[in-house]
Structure 1
């Protein structure tokens, strides 16, 4: 499916100081049979792929994938994008919404040796159980997967260790939507198997999310949606002021002073934010 290049000499050579520090932070340990597979053990045509190992250039790969900077992923048929922003207005996550549920794929910094997903999965399982969720460990194409049943949704976590990166795929849906044989899981595994990761050369602490960069077309859609929200807010304020004025005239026969419409959201504030401080903008 893809042409691969040989991994650079740094991967095969003796570990440097950064390698030892990363490995120490990762806490490398023994491998279980259901642990995420080493990148070298996966089939040549099974992703996620490392951008540096492929013969295809970024432009060629982006022609069939959504380029989000640290990850390039294919969009399933009928999928919609949901962008999550930080309080500062920077993209934090991009979700793919399907008719069966939501898929979120993100890349994280990791040491050169595999094993980070095993630790992350253990932490996730502990956190879910602490929230009184029912958690089970299952085995999928890449090894260990977590299946969690919470009060609000069913969740499945799939992790894959790469060279200095780890990909985590999170599935969320209604009860029964993330079973091993469900359509949502089949779609997510297909997307994950074709995902390409761009780790970059910048240093990142272990487990740090790799940067998400939105393409210009997506930024333009977000800006248009923001303008629509501003116009709607301004129109609602004007209508409210008019209703108040009409009510005052009917009640006392006098014209009440017209209230100033609320100030629209400024262009640097980004889409409307919820109580959690994040903004969710659904795009076709």
Structure 2
């Protein structure tokens, strides 16, 4: 979905009678990746400052701004639904997603969503259904950061397809946490590429 992938396989060599692990067709490296360990995989990623997303062809971007003019979120609009990936500051030694997901479930139940909890690739995933929208939430705990992915779609079938696309997106996402101290749960800042920022500024002037 996102182009070239890094894959592993085992080759025997004659160097001292031992085997070397080399990159080859077979097993792919997966993330999300911390920026200090990001692979050189040849994948083009959209640089949003704190996150770098592998955006496939044909996807539209929707930028959500807050009243101060800062970027709140960047949504990826796909044929099967909307995907959103956000990064947050997290503790050094404790997982944040279990705590956040429990609070999220309480909030969604209060909004009359029907909830299911699933065991996914990185831990617990949440499905939430209402007559208007079907949501899928995936959380990943990393080194001093937590990544939250959300897939939103109008139907159950599309939501499952959007969830698969979200998982694929997360596997190749790079998180740039930085070294500065931040309170836990602080959203990592989102910065738009210059070309996109200019386009939004031009649209705002026209309005």
Q: TM-score range by the shorter chain?
A: 0.7 to 0.9
Which of residues 36, 53, 61 in structure 2 aligns to 1:73? Answer: 53
- What is the CA–CA distance in structure 2 between the aligned matches of 1:206 and 1:73, rounded to whole Å? 23
Indicate the structure with greater strand content: 2
- What is the CA–CA distance in structure 1 between the aligned matches of 2:69 and 2:107, rounded to whole Å? 28
Which structure has the bigger radius of gyration? Answer: 1
Instruction: Establish whether residue 50 from structure 1 lines up as the match of residue 30 from structure 2.
Output: no
Deviation at 1:76, TM superposition (A): 2.3
Which of residues 205, 216, 224 in structure 1 aligns to 2:202? Answer: 224
Deviation at 1:220, TM superposition (A): 1.3
- What is the CA–CA distance in structure 1 between the aligned matches of 2:138 and 2:179, rounded to whole Å? 25
Alignment partner, residue 11 of structure 2: none
TM-score by length of 1: 0.61
Deviation at 1:115, TM superposition (A): 1.8
- Kept in 1, the 8 Å contact 2:38–2:174? The answer is no
Which of residues 134, 137, 142 in structure 1 aligns to 2:122? Answer: 142
- Kept in 1, the 8 Å contact 2:75–2:84? The answer is yes
Deviation at 1:178, TM superposition (A): 5.5
Deviation at 1:55, TM superposition (A): 6.1
- Kept in 2, the 8 Å contact 1:114–1:162? The answer is no
Q: Superposed, which structure 2 residues align to 1:178-257 within 5 Å?
A: 179=159, 182-229=160-207
Q: Superposed, which structure 2 residues align to 1:78-117 within 5 Å?
A: 78-117=58-97
Give SS of 2:204's match: helix
What is the number of residues matched between the two proteins? 184
Structure 1 segments unaligned to the other structure (5+ residues): 3-42, 230-284
Alignment partner, residue 150 of structure 2: 170
- What is the CA–CA distance in structure 1 between the aligned matches of 2:28 and 2:185, rounded to whole Å? 26
Indicate the structure with greater helix content: 1
- What is the CA–CA distance in structure 2 between the aligned matches of 1:105 and 1:150, rounded to whole Å? 21
Alignment partner, residue 125 of structure 1: 105
RMSD (Å) for aligned C-alpha atoms: 2.1
Structure 2 segments unaligned to the other structure (5+ residues): 7-26
Deviation at 1:77, TM superposition (A): 2.6
Identify the range of structure 1 (215-224 vs 160-169) with the bigger mean alpha-carbon deviation: 215-224
Render the CA deviation track for 1:131-190: whole Å, top value 9, x for unaligned: 1210010122112100001242111100000000000001111021465xx321221111
TM-score by length of 2: 0.82
Alignment partner, residue 10 of structure 2: none
